[in-house]
Chain A
Amino acid sequence: DTGVSQDPRHKITKRGQNVTFRCDPISEHNRLYWYRQTLGQGPEFLTYFQNEAQLEKSRLLSDRFSAERPKGSFSTLEIQRTEQGDSAMYLCASSPVGSGSTDTQYFGPGTRLTVL
């Protein structure tokens, strides 16, 4: 069990550029979540996958944001035409299929995005 990994850890970009982040969940975890955390706030939910299906999206996920999980393993989060307000830590979490509906989420180290 190597934990959830995210790449890159840090990204600095100029306003208007596109960025893509990657998340590798814990092996055999079929649920994957993306959250955004701004300075001084708790994480806020963005979107959720079960296997390759994107089952839920937050209203925070504007049309400039797109997430994929094509083979039900790793996931990517792309932000197009970045804005300064997109500067945040982007966290990925995964959870296993367990008995019942227990759904403990395990978080990666995050990708810190700075938009200049």
Chain B
Amino acid sequence: AQSVTQLDSQVPVFEEAPVELRCNYSSSVSVYLFWYVQYPNQGLQLLLKYLSGSTLVKGINGFEAEFNKSQTSFHLRKPSVHISDTAEYFCAVTRSGQAGTALIFGKGTTLSVSS
């Protein structure tokens, strides 16, 4: 079975500062990794995904994440945040090589950007 731990439940940051949201996962098999963002009262929007290949993955809205297999981590980063990045961010994992499997989500990290 897979599990996901998001190490910070809340991350407050000032506008234009860099940010890192941390995600560790546990799995006995190979996995795919995802970051989703959820704005208030909305569904989840895919930010980026790691399937294979380069361990540095670039996504939408200037976000990127790095897959580290030895540390079983997939941390999300942005060099300069905006007020509009305020949202809930979820890291998720699914078993690779097997289509139609459920996403396992972390509990989420609330990113609060202030001016």
Residues of A that sit less than 8 Å from B by CB:
4, 6, 31, 33, 35, 40-45, 48, 50, 55-56, 58, 91, 93, 95, 97, 101-110, 112
Which chain A residues border B87 with CB–CB below 8 Å?
A: none
Task: Assess the B99–A44 pair: CB atoms within 8 A.
Answer: no
- Chain-A contact segment, one of B11-19, B62-70, B76-84, B89-97: B89-97
Whole-angstrom CA separation of A59 from B22 in the bound complex: 29
Instruction: Specify which of B4, B34, B44, B96 is in contact with A101 (CB 8 Å cutoff).
Output: B96
- Given the interface pairs A104-B49, A107-B45, the reply to whether A43 lies near B100 with Cβ below 8 Å is no
Which chain A residues border B4 with CB–CB below 8 Å?
A: 42
Instruction: Specify which of A35, A58, A101, A109 is in contact with B99 (CB 8 Å cutoff).
Output: A101
- Given the interface pairs A42-B90, A56-B102, the reply to whether A109 lies near B43 with Cβ below 8 Å is yes
Task: Tell me the minimal C-beta distance from A106 to chain B in angstroms.
Answer: 7
Task: Assess the B43–A103 pair: CB atoms within 8 A.
Answer: no
Closest to A46 in B: B102
Whole-angstrom CA separation of A46 from B28 in the bound complex: 22
Task: Assess the A43–B103 pair: CB atoms within 8 A.
Answer: yes
> What is the interface size of chain B, counting residues whose CB is below 8 A from a CB of the partner?
28
Which chain A residues border B107 with CB–CB below 8 Å?
A: 40-42
Closest to B4 in A: A42
Instruction: Specify which of B45, B102, B104, B106 is in contact with A33 (CB 8 Å cutoff).
Output: B102
Question: In the complex, which of the residues B43, B45, B49, B99 has the most CB atoms of chain A within 10 Å of its own CB atom?
Answer: B43
Task: Assess the B102–A58 pair: CB atoms within 8 A.
Answer: yes
Closest to B108 in A: A42
Task: Tell me the minimal C-beta distance from A58 to chain B in angstroms.
Answer: 7
- Given the interface pairs A43-B105, A102-B51, the reply to whether A91 lies near B99 with Cβ below 8 Å is no
Determine whether B7 belongs to the interface, using a CB cutoff of 8 Å to chain A.
Answer: no
Task: Assess the B51–A105 pair: CB atoms within 8 A.
Answer: no
15 residue pairs of the A-B complex, CB under 8 angstroms, read A33-B103, A43-B90, A50-B100, A55-B100, A91-B43, A91-B44, A101-B97, A104-B34, A104-B49, A105-B103, A107-B36, A107-B44, A107-B45, A109-B42, A110-B42
